[in-house]
């Protein structure tokens, strides 16, 4: 800048700007940001996380096609060779990286939870905060960094998600364990998850000196361990913040095995595992490797996300010795469970039951157990040649021995090693594939496509020809002849499809489970029951008259009925439209439907159908209905415009679960107009709440105070939230009607097709080749 030399009395020759502004206090993203100013606002922008703008591979990248080009056997050979090849900067325990890679894969997959289907290894979120820097993931950063040369060699044809799980499988195999199979197809995320609710506890990253304070639990539990009302808050599964499963020292680090068993059962059940699978996973996983606890947690440096820049993404710097090998610190417990930590055998269970165990402390001060018998087998030190150490058990291991039900399963496995091997093999396969959805998404030569496992929500193979345009036209006429209304048909179709959740690829219209327990019995679906029965009659009549082998499934017919309803409604609004319909859905059976697991899909709030559970106030723990609505929009992969236009269309069609007029801002119900948005944004109208909790509202004429419409929070959010209102204004405009119909049909088709992994060409889902 130019200095005014004539004004030296008031501005010395300091090089400063005479108008100030010579200091910078923050840059793009520096707090306080919008979240700091208004922390309780509805964060609609979260619907656009991990979008194409963040993806370096671009919109046309086809992972399935690239994965198919891999030399799969060469890839496995490279991984297995790496597992026993020393790397100086992080030496392997027992000269074998297998055990630590099993832990990496296990912890990547183990974040899965059945309540909302989030977590799991599917998007390789272990690479990003907060998961990357959880206490329980200590040193998994080293495992992934060790794998980096293999990732670079195979490039974008091998996702991090697939590499981590395949490496876990290869690790098991080189140590003598027969894995059940492997399915590729995991698509990596490209940014941190800033939305998933991992629990109410908050850790201050500045409190590095007491880093183990990250592992807290008391806000997520009701009652104390052992109380009759002891319960873990939904949708959580892990017993503690920053842990994958449970505290290995027992609840509250108490060393209480039976208390630990209670936590294990709750946690593993929430992760979709039964008692036998739970025992198999713990006993099988602990057959390998060791735990690390040579240094106090207070001495270990910060996790990767807040480590110094020169650490280049590696965290938990250990100041003792070289910081690794015999000085390694991870969870604080030190030692191995077995005499041969790199070989699959039954010695974990044999020694757990053969010996009595007493509490001791690790060098880091963690509570653990050692045999009381001095003649018990020893285990070799992982790094000091010739040194033998005592065996170790965690409190969570002793729990398997003392809990009556777990003990029965352990005794079964002790008596039948082959049964144990098979149980662990299948449980590991489930653990590492649980979030991947139907087998149609699995890639590679080790997919066990012939096996139908109940947790995969299997669908029967189609054994008939698909209907074509002529048959579809005939079916539409038959549907109209039933007298079913546009509202009822649209309601039933959206009820089938809206169960979908992209987190673990469950739900959706395919399979026709709307007609089966438990979905047919949900209060939110009662309106669909008589509609399904009439459509079943249409199906039976049509299929009974076909001679050419073409058939229609109930699942397809439900969707076709909804598509027909939208076409009729669009025409009534003066916009001739054709709604896409892709046949090919099949009807599954009650026997192939896991009622307990599908019950987790039952909504607390379904904003699309204006449903709120009767016990919402007791269930919600303070969360508002619109927050659940946003959550569901995210699970259905909807953008904010898609969410908005879909809701506005469903309201004028009146797909409310009870047929009420809440949000039906039109006197032409069943006509696909933009009336919802026009009236929502009308400045001549004013809203008033009708109850103290502000759950219901009435819309009145501002001038006359005359009531005109009724609404819920799930309606008004599209006018009260600034981002959603901006979208609503687009559809409310004088040029909004045709755009509204076009966009609604596109969003409708997207929702109806969310679970169609069988349709070739859905690159996003990495379908198997036909």
| DSSP 8-class letter at 306 | G
Extract the tokens encoding 153.
Answer: 């060699």
107 is catalytic: yes
Can you tell me whether residue 421 is helix, strand or coil? helix
Per the DSSP assignment, residues forming a β-bridge with 752 are none
Residue pair 489/472 in contact by the 8 Å Cβ criterion: no
Instruction: Determine the Cα–Cα distance for residues 105 and 168; give it in Å rounded to an integer.
Output: 5
Residue pair 674/736 in contact by the 8 Å Cβ criterion: yes
Closest CA to 109 of 397, 394, 436, 421: 436
Phi-psi region of 319 (alpha: psi -120 to 50; beta: other; left: phi over 0): alpha
11, 107, 286, 657: the active-site residue: 107
User: Which of 274-307 are b and which e, b meaning 16 or more Cβ less than 10 Å from the residue's Cβ?
Assistant: ebbbbbbbbbbbbbbbbbbbbbbbeebbbbbbeb
Residue pair 99/338 in contact by the 8 Å Cβ criterion: no
Instruction: Determine the Cα–Cα distance for residues 670 and 757; give it in Å rounded to an integer.
Output: 31
SS (H, E, C) 345-382: CCHHHHHHHHCCEEEEECCCCCEEEEECCCCCCEEECC
Closest CA to 103 of 164, 186, 48: 164
Taking the CA atoms of residue 51, residue 53, residue 57 and residue 62 in that order, the dihedral angle to the nearest 10 degrees is 40
Residue pair 679/665 in contact by the 8 Å Cβ criterion: yes
The enclosing H or E element of 741 equals: helix 736-752
| Number of Cβ within a 10 Å radius of residue 51 | 11
Extract the tokens encoding 740.
Answer: 């509204």
How many helices, marked H, and strands, marked E, lie in the chain? 25, 13
Q: Active-site residue numbers?
A: 107
């Amino acid at each position: 800048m130019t200095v005014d030399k004539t004004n030296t009395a008031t501005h010395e020759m300091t090089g400063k700007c005479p108008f100030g502004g010579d200091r910078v206090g923050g840059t793009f993203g520096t707090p306080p940001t919008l979240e700091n100013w208004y922390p309780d606002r509805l964060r609609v922008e979260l619907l656009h996380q991990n979008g194409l703008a963040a993806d370096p591979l671009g919109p046309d990248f086809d992972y399935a096609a690239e994965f198919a080009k891999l030399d799969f056997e060469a890839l496995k050979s490279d991984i297995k060779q790496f597992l026993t090849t020393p790397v100086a900067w992080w030496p392997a325990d027992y000269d074998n990286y297998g055990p630590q890679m099993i832990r990496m894969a296990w912890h990547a997959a183990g974040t899965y939870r059945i309540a909302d289907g989030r977590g799991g290894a599917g998007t390789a979120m272990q690479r990003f905060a907060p998961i990357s820097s959880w206490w329980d993931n200590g040193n998994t950063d080293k495992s992934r960094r060790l794998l980096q040369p293999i990732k670079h060699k195979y490039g974008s044809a091998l996702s991090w998600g697939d590499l981590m799980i395949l490496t876990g499988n290869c690790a098991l195999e080189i140590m003598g364990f027969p894995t059940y199979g492997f399915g590729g197809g995991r698509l990596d995320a490209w940014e941190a998850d800033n939305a998933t609710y991992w629990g109410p506890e908050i850790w201050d990253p500045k409190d590095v000196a007491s880093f183990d304070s990250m592992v807290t639990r008391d806000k997520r539990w009701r009652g104390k361990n052992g109380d009759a009302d002891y319960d873990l808050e939904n949708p959580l599964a892990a017993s503690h913040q920053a842990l994958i499963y449970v505290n290995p020292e027992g609840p509250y680090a108490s060393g209480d095995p039976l208390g630990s068993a209670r936590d294990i059962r709750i946690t593993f059940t929430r992760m979709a595992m039964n008692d036998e699978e739970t025992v198999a996973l713990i006993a099988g996983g602990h057959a390998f490797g060791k735990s690390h606890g040579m240094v106090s947690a207070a001495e270990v440096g910060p996790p990767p996300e807040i480590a110094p820049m020169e650490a280049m993404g590696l965290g938990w710097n250990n100041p003792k010795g070289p910081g690794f090998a015999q000085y390694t610190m991870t969870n604080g417990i030190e030692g191995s469970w077995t005499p041969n930590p790199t070989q699959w055998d039954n010695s974990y269970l044999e020694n757990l039951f053969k010996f009595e165990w007493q509490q001791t402390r690790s060098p880091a001060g963690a509570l653990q157990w050692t045999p009381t018998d001095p003649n018990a087998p020893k285990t070799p030190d992982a790094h000091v040649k010739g040194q033998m150490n005592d065996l170790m058990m965690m409190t969570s291991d002793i729990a398997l021995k003392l809990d009556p039900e777990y003990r029965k399963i352990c005794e079964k496995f002790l008596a039948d090693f082959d049964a144990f091997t098979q149980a662990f093999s299948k449980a590991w396969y489930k653990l590492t594939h649980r979030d991947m959805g139907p087998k149609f998404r699995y890639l590679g030569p080790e997919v066990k496509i012939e096996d139908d496992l109940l947790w995969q929500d299997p669908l029967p193979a189609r054994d008939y020809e698909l209907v074509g345009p002529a048959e579809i036209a005939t079916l539409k006429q038959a549907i109209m002849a039933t007298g079913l209304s546009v509202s009822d048909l649209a309601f039933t179709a959206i009820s089938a499809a809206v169960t979908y959740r992209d987190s673990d690829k469950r739900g959706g219209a395919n399979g026709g489970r709307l007609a089966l327990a438990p979905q047919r019995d949900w209060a939110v679906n009662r309106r669909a029951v008589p509609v399904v029965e009439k459509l079943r009659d249409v199906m039976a009549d049509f299929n009974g008259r076909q001679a050419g082998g073409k058939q229609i499934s109930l699942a397809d017919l439900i969707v076709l009925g909804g598509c027909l309803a939208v076409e009729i409604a669009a025409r009534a609004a003066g916009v001739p439209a054709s709604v896409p319909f892709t046949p090919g859905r099949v009807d599954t059976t009650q026997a192939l439907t896991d009622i307990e697991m599908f019950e987790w899909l039952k909504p607390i709030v379904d904003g699309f159908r204006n449903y709120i559970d009767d016990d919402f106030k007791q269930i919600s723990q303070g969360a508002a209905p619109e927050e659940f609505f946003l959550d569901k929009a995210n699970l259905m992969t909807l953008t904010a415009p898609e969410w908005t236009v879909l809701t506005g269309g469903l309201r004028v069609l009146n797909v409310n679960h009870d047929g009420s007029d809440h949000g039906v801002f039109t006197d032409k119900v069943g006509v696909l107009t933009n009336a919802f948005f026009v009236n929502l944004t009308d400045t001549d109208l004013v809203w008033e709440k009708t109850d103290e909790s502000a759950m219901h509202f009435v819309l009145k004429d501002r001038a006359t105070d005359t009531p005109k419409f009724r609404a819920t929070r799930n309606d008004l959010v599209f006018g009260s939230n600034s981002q959603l209102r901006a979208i609503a204004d687009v559809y409310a405009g004088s040029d909004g009607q045709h755009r509204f119909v076009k966009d609604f049909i596109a969003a409708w088709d997207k929702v109806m097709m969310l679970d169609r992994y069988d349709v070739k060409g859905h690159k996003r889902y990495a379908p198997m080749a036909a």
